[in-house]
Amino acid sequence: MTISNAPESPVVIKVNDVSKRFVIRKDKSLKERIVNFGRSNKHKDDFWALRDVGFDIQAGTTVGLLGANGSGKSTLLKVIGGIIQPNSGSVERRGRLAALLELGAGFHPDLTGRENVFLNGSILGLSRKQTEEYFDSIVEFSEIEEFIDTQVKFYSSGMYVRLAFAIAVHVDPDVLLVDEVLAVGDERFQEKCMDKIREFQQEGRTIVLVSHSSAQVEELCSRAVVLAHGNVIYDGDTEGGIAALRASFGA
Amino acid sequence: MTNQAQERATRLAALPFQTSEPVGARHIGAFFRSIKEIYEHRELLGLLVRRELKAKYKDSSLGFLWTLIKPITMLLIYFVAIGQFLGAARGIPEFAIFVFSGLTLWGLFSEIVSTGTGSIVSNAGLIKKVYLPREIFPLAAAGSALFNFAIQFAVLLIATVVTLQIPWSTSIAYVPIGVLIAFIYGVALALLLSALNVYLRDIQYLVEVGMLLFFWASPIVYSWSYVVDAAQRTGLTWLSEVYLWNPITLAMLAFQKGMWVAGSRDNVMGQDASGADIVVPAQPWPADLDLRLLIAGVIGLVLIWVCQRVFSRLQGNFAQEI
């Protein structure tokens, strides 16, 4: 793939030959490890979740990561987000990065909605002042005004996710990593989320999206990267990507 | 492309790349980069400390009083069982103040280590989903321990005023030094153990046992003079030397020297059968306590550096090991 160096689309993410190997140990406790000492290879499984994956992402593009279950797309997203370090290769990134990997990961059930907004905002990189500024708008977007001072453990799952999504979209990211979370809330709220994503695209934000929904990828993405067994098997426009994905199921 | 998009693109083009590479670099710069990163997240650290404190007693009606009930119960137990029944109070003047100052500092150290050890595993949800400098989780545990310590310390101060044992002497300077050393070692151990606990869950049970051992290996419910006496009686004077290698012992001695004024003077503790006064001499504080504290402090700082480096090497796989 050629990298266009046009000034209007600088590269924001460079994935350089990233490999990630997972070692799965079956013996967790000290006793088991001592008992199995020396035979430890039998109790280890390893496999390559990613193998020499490399590509660049330009600012303002929306990239869909596609692949069958276990093809390494979520791992790749985590490596891009810095949550997992690769075994070899490196990831270079710039700009403010926000990850919508799992909504509400930072929520504490015993705290109120209001306290969680501040906590989660801070986790996603907002300062206290910024959170205060956005607070009303966050609550308005989430549509749970009356419950904002209730502990979140009493929230319904829809309310929980709506509040989390509202915080995440107010973080003002340059790069947004999204993992299968756009199907949240009721239909109307989903529509609202989609509108927000389109608004993000208009504003030139970069979005990297993991999805199993071909329709969603077709609708939102300008580029598709298809993974199979930790390798990139396709990188290009979305129609070709979806075709390659279907082909990889057959293989 | 909209204007806003163009602005963003120009701004991004000017930004330098941040690289994430396989293994954390070993040189000293990496340590200071981590410190800087933690400093940039200080607001979050503050919020996490408050979360720990708020969530801990959220639905209990007594709330923060519980932070005091436990140490006061321990104080009563040791005061009655060890002080009166076993008779330690006969050789230790102002036994209640003595035990409570020991328990207060011990509470700080043990809470940092034990809640710090579990901090990475108990924040698994966050660690798997968001990139943050992971050191802030053990540090948040240390922060909330520090808060609980402050409450207990205030109670201790009130107790010294009530019993007219106000710690107003030059020795008061030892108090912050003792606290600092307990804090440094607590944080170093919390960093190391929290990272190891991800890979080997046995660590948290090991910590419980280790804490028990440390508790009785430090002069908390018995005084330093008992150790010196026992060493002389048995002729094993090197034993008291080994005892002083324990940094928590040193922190404890410094803290007691500052807070427990009765320990630094000769006390008349009643009369014997013939009517003569029983004098309990002042504590034989180690002569080179200052030097020992300094050495313990320096070693502690080096230990923090080592533990942080180990932590940063191990943290690369936290997200998949939890």
**pLDDT single digits (tens) B26-51:** 566 788 888 888 998 899 999 999 98
B19 with A95: Cβ contact below 8 A: no
Distance from CA of A170 to the nearest CA of B (A): 16
Q: B30 and B315 in contact (C-beta within 8 Å)? A: no
By three-state DSSP, how is residue A91 classified? Answer: strand
In degrees rounded to 5, what are phi and psi of residue A179? -120, 95
Cα separation, A217 vs B116, in Å, equals 43
A174 with B12: Cβ contact below 8 A: yes
Cα separation, B300 vs A15, in Å, equals 39
Cα separation, A66 vs B1, in Å, equals 26
A10 with B1: Cβ contact below 8 A: no
Distance from CA of A188 to the nearest CA of B (A): 27
In degrees rounded to 5, what are phi and psi of residue A86? -75, 160
Q: A122 and A131 in contact (C-beta within 8 Å)? A: yes
- Which residues in chain A have Cβ-Cβ distances shorter than 8 Å to B197? none
- Which residues in chain B have Cβ-Cβ distances shorter than 8 Å to A81? 130-131
A25 — pLDDT class (breaks 50, 70, 90) = low
Helix axis angle for B247-259 and B174-199, nearest 10°, is 150
Does residue A150 sit in the same domain as residue A179? Answer: no
The beta-carbon neighbor of B21 closest among A29, A84, A90 is A90
User: At CA B316, angle to CA B314 and CA B319, rounded to 5?
Assistant: 105
Select from A74, A94, A91, A93 the least CA-distant residue to A17: A91
Distance from CA of B182 to the nearest CA of A (A): 29
Query: Residue holding tokens 């660049």?
Result: A56
Which of residues 19 through 58 in chain A touch B, CB cutoff 8 A? 22, 28-30, 33
By three-state DSSP, how is residue A178 classified? Answer: strand
The DSSP code for A106 is: T
- Asked if pLDDT for residue B205 goes beyond 50, the answer is yes
Which of residues 160 through 219 in chain A touch B, CB cutoff 8 A? 174, 202-205
Report, as an integer, the average pLDDT of B101-110. Answer: 96
Does residue A140 sit in the same domain as residue A251? Answer: no
Report, as an integer, the average pLDDT of B95-113. Answer: 95
Ramachandran sector of residue A82 (left: φ over 0; alpha: ψ -120 to 50; beta: rest): left
| Residue A59 forms part of a structural domain | yes
In degrees rounded to 5, what are phi and psi of residue B193? -70, -35
| Residue A244 forms part of a structural domain | yes
Domain that holds residue A250: 11-34+48-95+174-186+204-251
Does residue A15 sit in the same domain as residue A90? Answer: yes
Does residue A15 sit in the same domain as residue A61? Answer: yes
B43 with A127: Cβ contact below 8 A: yes
| Residue A159 forms part of a structural domain | yes
- Which site among B131, B136, B204 would you substitute to test the A interface, given the most A Cβ atoms closer than 10 Å to its Cβ? B131
Does residue A26 sit in the same domain as residue A148? Answer: no
B4 with A174: Cβ contact below 8 A: no
Is the pLDDT higher at A121 or at B296? B296
Does residue A74 sit in the same domain as residue A179? Answer: yes
Beta strands in A70-201 (DSSP E): 88-93, 97-100, 175-179
Q: B1 and A204 in contact (C-beta within 8 Å)? A: yes
Confidence (pLDDT) at B76: 92
- Asked if pLDDT for residue A7 goes beyond 70, the answer is no
B23 with A99: Cβ contact below 8 A: no
Cα separation, A76 vs A20, in Å, equals 9
Instruction: Quote the tokens at residue A240.
Output: 């070709």
Residue A250 neighbours by CB under 8 Å, 6+ apart:
none
| Residue A241 forms part of a structural domain | yes
Return the residue of B nearest to A111 by Cα. Answer: B55
Cα separation, A131 vs B191, in Å, equals 30
pLDDT one-digit tens code per residue, B222-275: 999 999 999 999 988 888 889 999 999 999 999 999 999 988 888 888 888 888
Does residue A87 sit in the same domain as residue A110? Answer: no
Does residue A67 sit in the same domain as residue A113? Answer: no
Question: Where do runs of H (alpha helix) occur along B123-173?
Answer: 124-129, 136-162
B12 with A108: Cβ contact below 8 A: no
Distance from CA of B4 to the nearest CA of A (A): 6
B98 — pLDDT class (breaks 50, 70, 90) = very high
Confidence (pLDDT) at B53: 87
| Residue A110 forms part of a structural domain | yes
A4 — pLDDT class (breaks 50, 70, 90) = very low
| Residue A66 forms part of a structural domain | yes
N-term to C-term CA, chain B: 43
Is the pLDDT higher at A131 or at B55? A131
Percent of chain A with pLDDT over 90: 16
Does residue A67 sit in the same domain as residue A112? Answer: no
Confidence (pLDDT) at A38: 60
| Residue A39 forms part of a structural domain | no
User: At CA A23, angle to CA A20 and CA A24, rounded to 5?
Assistant: 135
Confidence (pLDDT) at B191: 96
A215 — pLDDT class (breaks 50, 70, 90) = confident
Best mean pLDDT range from A116-130, A157-171, A213-227, B109-123: B109-123
Percent of chain B with pLDDT over 90: 54
Query: Residue holding tokens 């098997």?
Result: A233
Confidence (pLDDT) at A1: 40
pLDDT one-digit tens code per residue, A72-96: 888 898 888 888 888 888 898 888 8
Given the DSSP bridges, would you call strands A62-67 and B267-271 parallel, antiparallel or unpaired? unpaired
Does residue A225 sit in the same domain as residue A238? Answer: yes
- Which residues in chain A have Cβ-Cβ distances shorter than 8 Å to B21? 85-86, 90
- Which residues in chain A have Cβ-Cβ distances shorter than 8 Å to B131? 81-83, 99
| Residue A6 forms part of a structural domain | no
- Which residues in chain B have Cβ-Cβ distances shorter than 8 Å to A205? 8
- Asked if pLDDT for residue B192 goes beyond 90, the answer is yes
Q: A216 and A190 in contact (C-beta within 8 Å)? A: no
Mean pLDDT of chain A: 83
- Asked if pLDDT for residue B208 goes beyond 50, the answer is yes
Report, as an integer, the average pLDDT of A14-43. Answer: 72
The beta-carbon neighbor of B22 closest among A78, A86, A94 is A86
pLDDT one-digit tens code per residue, B282-296: 889 998 999 999 999
B279: enclosing H helix or E strand: strand B277-280
Does residue A65 sit in the same domain as residue A17? Answer: yes
- Which residues in chain A have Cβ-Cβ distances shorter than 8 Å to B129? 83, 99, 101-102, 105-106
Domain count, chain A: 2
Instruction: Quote the tokens at residue B117.
Output: 């050890």
The beta-carbon neighbor of B129 closest among A12, A90, A105 is A105
Does residue A182 sit in the same domain as residue A78? Answer: yes
Confidence (pLDDT) at A251: 59
Report, as an integer, the average pLDDT of B52-75. Answer: 83
Q: B115 and B53 in contact (C-beta within 8 Å)? A: no
Task: Kindly report the length of chain B.
Answer: 322
